[in-house]
Chain A
Amino acid sequence: DQQVKQNSPSLSVQEGRISILNCDYTNSMFDYFLWYKKYPAEGPTFLISISSIKDKNEDGRFTVFLNKSAKHLSLHIVPSQPGDSAVYFCAGRPETSGSRLTFGEGTQLTVNP
């Protein structure tokens, strides 16, 4: 049972446009969601997070939206830059699980100049 799913394995966007990466989850016990970004030959790095009591969190060009009723979250990057090209992982944390995370498969984002 895959609890976190990223149904788009890849996404291609023009520089300056908006990138929208989607993530669906099934575990209603998740109380915290995170997005990680991974460049080739490097480990994933934390990008942005959102608590389940919020529906939006913004950090510069990155905004995460959470729709609890739909069990869906999305990451918006605007404007997209070529340096944003990477694999993006969505992750959920079950309540009271501290640092324990459940990840999705990842989406490869390519931002074309």
Chain B
Amino acid sequence: ETGVTQTPRHLVMGMTNKKSLKCEQHLGHNAMYWYKQSAKKPLELMFVYSLEERVENNSVPSRFSPECPNSSHLFLHLHTLQPEDSALYLCASSQDYTGAPETQYFGPGTRLLVL
């Protein structure tokens, strides 16, 4: 499989649940990103990993916990979420964090609903 894949594609969870979103890239990239897109709002950058090291954390609440075990995989662990966390969560990767922005490739996203 090529490109950036995300699982699951859809997720419904209660506020007390713990779940994880998975992202995998098959492009040999060194940087990976988590974005959140809420309805009628811009894509918001949440986290950036470069060479498996977190380089950005944009004031994201601790109920979101990223993990990058290797350069091909990125997880977003979710616990005790709120209904306002319902959104589309997009993963992206790029050749390098400091490289040309056109190299950022997105996955299809996980549509999350928190009840």
Contacts and interface: CB of A to CB of B under 8 A. Distances in A.
Interface of A: 2, 4, 9, 32, 34, 36, 41-46, 49, 89, 91, 93, 98-106
B2 interface: no
Contacts of B101: 32, 34, 49, 91, 93, 98-101
Interface stretch (B11-19, B37-45, B67-75): B37-45
Contacts of B90: 43-44
Given A43-B108, A44-B90, A104 B98 contact: no
Contacts of A103: 42-43
25 contacts: A4-B42, A9-B40, A36-B106, A42-B108, A43-B4, A44-B43, A46-B102, A46-B104, A46-B105, A49-B102, A91-B101, A98-B96, A98-B100, A98-B101, A99-B94, A99-B96, A99-B98, A99-B100, A99-B101, A100-B45, A100-B101, A102-B42, A103-B43, A104-B42, A105-B40
